[in-house]
Amino acid sequence: MHAASFPPPYEARHPTESILHQTLAEHLASFTYERERELCPLPKYVQEELEAFLRCGLHHYGFLRIRCPDDSCGFEYAVPFSCKKRGFCSSCFAKRAAEVEEHLTDNLLPRAPYRQYVLTFPHSLRYRLAWDGELLAAIHKTVIDRIYRSIRDRLAGKFKRKDLRPGSIGFIQRCGSLLNLNLHFHLLVLDDAFICREKKRPFFHKIRGPGSEAIGELLESIMEAVELCLDKKGLLEDDVPSAIDEDLLSVEAASRASVGQTIAFGERRGQRVRRIGFPRQGETMESKGLFP
């Protein structure tokens, strides 16, 4: 067997060398204490997530011993346990994302052209969607329905609408590029649709993709549909909701601040997050008109 045919050797990562790990290890205890002193403690699930991240990938918290079954070889190494959490650990998140990607490409997605749609929302709606799972599901369904309708409209002259079967898969991302709370949709949509006729084998029909004018019309349709969805639920005139649950006050405060890219706790509470090269001081969430 040629050397090139062997898989690359295992290389253990060094989580304690990252700035994030070092920062959290140094300040988590004091941060937790300050929130408890303010009667705004971290929820148990948040505390467990952060503590699990600090243990992830470190041998002294447990590891799996792997040894070559060939007695003449005897090569072995230790793989530390991972936290397998979903919300904070970038290593476990990257592994989960790679597994989902492999499953989609190998087992689920047909070989066909796709178009990605990315939909963002106004600041106040981002906060509401972060807490209201029922509303989030309703708006997600509304957006998909409008995209499917636009596809059917483009193919209606060639096929019966009941025979058209668009397809998509969507992912809801909760943060933006600055790791601020910016809930938005990533939708991978078939371009354009399967034709499913009774007692006949389905086939895929591709037409020219939508132009700028068609995309603009679709955007207006989605905006109209989302506004109608909010109106039906009586949410257009309501104030921004509260988390209500006292156990979540710290998460609520952090979420509100994150939407507006401001500081949630400490001496600079309510002020804008400082960015290198973008000095903007003295602004608060209220002055930006984000929250009452």
Alpha-carbon gap, residue 55 to 188, rounded angstroms = 35
On the 0-12 / 13-18 / 19+ scale of CB atoms within 10 A, 126 is buried
- The tally of CA atoms less than 13 A away on the side-chain side of residue 188 is 11
Report the candidate in 172, 190, 82 with the shortest Cα–Cα distance to residue 133: 172
DSSP symbol at 4: G
252-282 pLDDT tens trace? 888 889 988 899 988 888 998 887 765 555 5
* C-alpha to C-alpha distance for 139 and 147, rounded to whole angstroms: 12
Are 219 and 226 in contact by the 8 Å Cβ rule? The answer is: no
Q: What is the pLDDT of residues 174-212, one digit of tens each?
A: 988 888 899 999 999 988 788 888 778 888 887 777 888
pLDDT band at 223 (very low <50, low <70, confident <90, very high): very high
- CA of 171: how far to CAs of 189, 230, 269, in Å? 12, 21, 32
Pick 196 or 81 by higher pLDDT.
81
Query: Does the bond joining 153 to the residue before it have cis omega, within 30 degrees of 0?
Result: no
pLDDT of 216 over the 90 cut: yes
As a whole number of angstroms, the distance between CA 43 and CA 45 comes to 6
Domains present along the chain, CATH in parentheses = 11-80 (no CATH), 110-232 (3.30.300.100)
DSSP state of 261: T
Say if CB 165 and CB 192 are below 8 A apart.
no
Single-letter code of the amino acid located at 242: S
Nearest partner of 206 among 282, 110, 285, judged by Cα: 110
* The model's pTM: 0.79
Tokens of 288: 């930006």
Mean pLDDT, all residues of the chain: 85
How far is residue 90 from each of residues 21, 83, 97, measured CA to CA in Å?
Answer: 11, 11, 10
